[in-house]
A and B are shown apart, each in its own frame.
Chain A
Amino acid sequence: MVKCIQLKKSCCGLVICIFAALLLAVFSGCVRSTKAEEVVELDFWVMWTGREFEAMMEIVALYNESQDEIRVNALSVSNIQRKLLIATAGNDPPDVAMLTSDILPQFADKNALLSLSSSLEQMDLDLEAYVPVFIELCSFNDELYGLPASTVSLALHWNKRMFAEAGLDPDVAPRTIEELDLFAQQLTRKNEDGGYATLGFLPTDPGWWPFAWTLWFDGSWVDETGAPTANTLENIAALEWVRSYSVKFGVRELQNFSSNMGNFSSAQNAFFSEQCAMTLQGVWLSNFIGEYTPDLDWGAAAFPAANDATRQISLVQCDVLVIPRNARNVDAAAEFIAYLQRKESLDYLARKHGKFGPLLDKEALIEGHPNKEIELFIDLSESEDVRILPQTPIWPEYSVEIGQAFESVWLGSLTATEALNGVQKKMDKQWKDYLRIRDAIARKADK
């Protein structure tokens, strides 16, 4: 009997302990440590993996060694924008994080990022030293919300061996859209079974920028106020050009060809495996070529503009360092970002990533750079024809709708005009809703 009572008591004790532990586990995440520490622990979320992350880790290690007041803990985070959103909403964001420049306006608009405009003096940074377009990419509504960590521009890459085999000059890239189409036709070969063995050019490869083609047709997705302009004549012309490829080469045949292409980051990549002779890609491609097909004979040139062979149009983007709202150590975060913005840090990252940096002074960077075409990418980013994606908070949804329109036109379900009229109608409504809600929030804040 006594044993039974003891057993019951110990059972009750066990239940209470488990329950208390559960409550502690649940609520411990909600409470921040207030313990004063000499060394500031800085959480830094990095969007990169592999060699790109390793390069950042090396700089972080150098920073940690260079002083003993701040210790940076860098973490590679996949799908960073969603995780940063949840962490910021949950009031527990990292001190420093990375975002792509196309997402920055959405986060800045939702008041999820701290403005760096007033911290520049403390950070000892001069914005005049940067290529202007990258500061524009880090800004929203004339406020600076971040600083570039890594910068890219896009260019046409071509396979010189395949050019020579097709009777083309291996050292000359197409200079006009018409030439590109002609070269693409000449470079295309069929198998005995009727499928394509090689293609000259495929507008759906790699499919990351379905909204970008319009830039080479002088199109734009928004007007000066940020309102959508999806169905302009230039945008329609760009999509009609895209459609011309699936008409010329056949949707089903191209789908079969695409489904046999390997992942971008693999030796089976269509460009690396010489299945595709030309591709629009970013400055990073040389790194991957070096890794998977070091013997590939390739070149890079500005992607041809539709209306003028002399223009050097390119889309530029960057990965941005930001301080999320409610970050714990804002001053230390600003100090660390300032360290990352030093020329030595940016140049080191650029070399390791096969890219170029956001600063104007690139003389030293070019010398011995691992990317043989780095000067071209630098020129493209500093060209007066440089293009960026719309700095509008509705861009995430807008870009998805453009992607859908692209797919419908590519498959031939809709004409370019029909598809872009649909996008315009949908985004007009979203833009009006956005303005209405923004005003409602502003009114509430005023009260």
Chain B
Amino acid sequence: MKAKTRKILKGIGFISPWVVGLLVFQLFPICASFYYSFCSYDVLNPPVFVGLDNYVSLAQDELFWHSLKVTVIYAALALPLSLVVSLFIAILLNQKIKARGLFRTIFYIPSLVPMVALGILWGWIFRGDQGILNYLLGLVGIDGPNWLGSTVWATPSIVITGLWGVGATVVIYLAALQTVPAELYEAATIDGANTWQKIIHVTIPSISSVIYFNLMLGVIGCLQVFAVPYVMTGGGPERSTYYYTLYLFDNAFSYLRMGYASAMAMILTVLILILTWLAHKFSHSKVHYTAE
């Protein structure tokens, strides 16, 4: 065997666990889900091919459109807020202050809390009259709403809960902020720029590729939000937090309509692809890559 062939075989050998994992646990399920989306499939019996029936039914399913609508509303609230809050925290944590490492740790720790624990914890915080949030609001004379029992406030409550997990995004921003050349800030200072102008004209353009990356991850994460609303509200009240993945999950595992759920999964995949493509198309000229 030639040395080159041996080298290639070795390389394949080394990456084969990952390749097998990808094929068996990701690619095969995706392909199977694509096929099942054209079938009536209840998991317990062999699938029956029904063509486009599932997609036609979805188009006529009011709950499908409702779940999509509330998911988009959630994403419209959660995504900008999490991007801005995490960038703001990252900029603060990038300042040269005492005990900076401690502050960074403190802000990162909440993102390590498992989603289910997070949901239960914030469920208590948002609890009607006895919740700590309404207690604190009461101290300043505000009669807080019944957060999780109100169709208006349930989604904002879940958005606020989600902000607890921005620690990971903050770390990515922090890493990016440290790559911004100091001379750019020096030049801006000489030109008389204030802090806000430096952020707008130096910091943000310099880390735009990272903002774009977080935006994409955020879009995907928001459209797939599941654990926190599942634990906190179960989709209620009156399905105001019945997000897309909750309906998908119910179809698959409660109503045994795996074919229907697969069609929903395929639509979600296509939706994410389209949003990613749109984001890429419209932000391409505005994203600055340091290596370019």
Contacts and interface: CB of A to CB of B under 8 A. Distances in A.
Interface residues of A, number: 41
Nearest to B126: A259
Given A15-B14, A110-B256, A111-B44, A256 B128 contact: yes
A10 interface: no
B16 A19 contact: yes
B50 A260 contact: no
B238 A19 contact: no
A18 B238 contact: no
A433 interface: yes
A53 B190 CA distance: 75
Interface stretch (A35-43, A82-90, A216-224, A379-387): A82-90
Most chain A CB within a 10 A radius of its CB, from B13, B62, B148, B237: B237
Contacts of B16: 19
A9 to B, nearest CB: 11
Nearest to B44: A110
Nearest to A103: B254
A85 B256 contact: yes
B32 interface: no
B239 A396 contact: no
Given A252-B146, A260-B128, A408 B238 contact: yes
Nearest to A403: B236
B57 A433 contact: yes
B250 A407 contact: no
A24 interface: no
B48 A437 contact: yes
Nearest to B63: A426
B86 to A, nearest CB: 31
A396 B148 CA distance: 24
Nearest to B148: A259
Given A106-B256, A256-B146, A441-B48, A411 B43 contact: no
B238 A23 contact: no
Interface residues of B, number: 36
B70 to A, nearest CB: 14
B192 interface: no
Interface of A, helix, strand, loop or mixed by DSSP: helix
Contacts of B44: 85, 88-89, 107, 110-112, 325
Nearest to B258: A89
Contacts of A426: 62-63
Most chain B CB within a 10 A radius of its CB, from A23, A256, A407, A440: A256
B168 to A, nearest CB: 28
Interface string A296-318: 00000000000000000000000
A396 B249 CA distance: 13
A11 B113 CA distance: 37
B280 interface: no
A325 B237 CA distance: 38
A4 interface: no
Contact of B17 (A22, A82, A86, A440): A22
Interface string B40-80: 10111110101000000100001100000000000000000
Given A12-B10, A397-B250, A440-B50, 20 more contacts: A12-B13, A18-B17, A22-B20, A26-B24, A86-B43, A106-B256, A255-B146, A255-B149, A256-B128, A256-B146, A258-B128, A259-B129, A394-B255, A404-B238, A407-B238, A411-B237, A426-B63, A441-B45, A441-B48, A444-B48
Interface of B: 10, 13-14, 16-17, 20, 24, 40, 42-46, 48, 50, 57, 62-63, 127-131, 146, 148-149, 151, 236-239, 250, 253-256
16 contacts: A12-B13, A15-B13, A16-B13, A18-B17, A22-B20, A85-B44, A195-B129, A255-B146, A260-B128, A396-B254, A397-B255, A411-B151, A411-B238, A413-B238, A437-B40, A444-B48
Interface of A: 12, 15-16, 18-19, 22-23, 26, 82, 85-86, 88-89, 106-107, 110-112, 195, 252, 255-256, 258-260, 325, 394, 396-397, 400, 404, 407-408, 411, 413, 426, 433, 437, 440-441, 444
Sort A-B residue pairs by CB-CB distance and give the 6 closest, nearest first: A259-B128, A110-B44, A89-B43, A255-B149, A397-B255, A256-B128
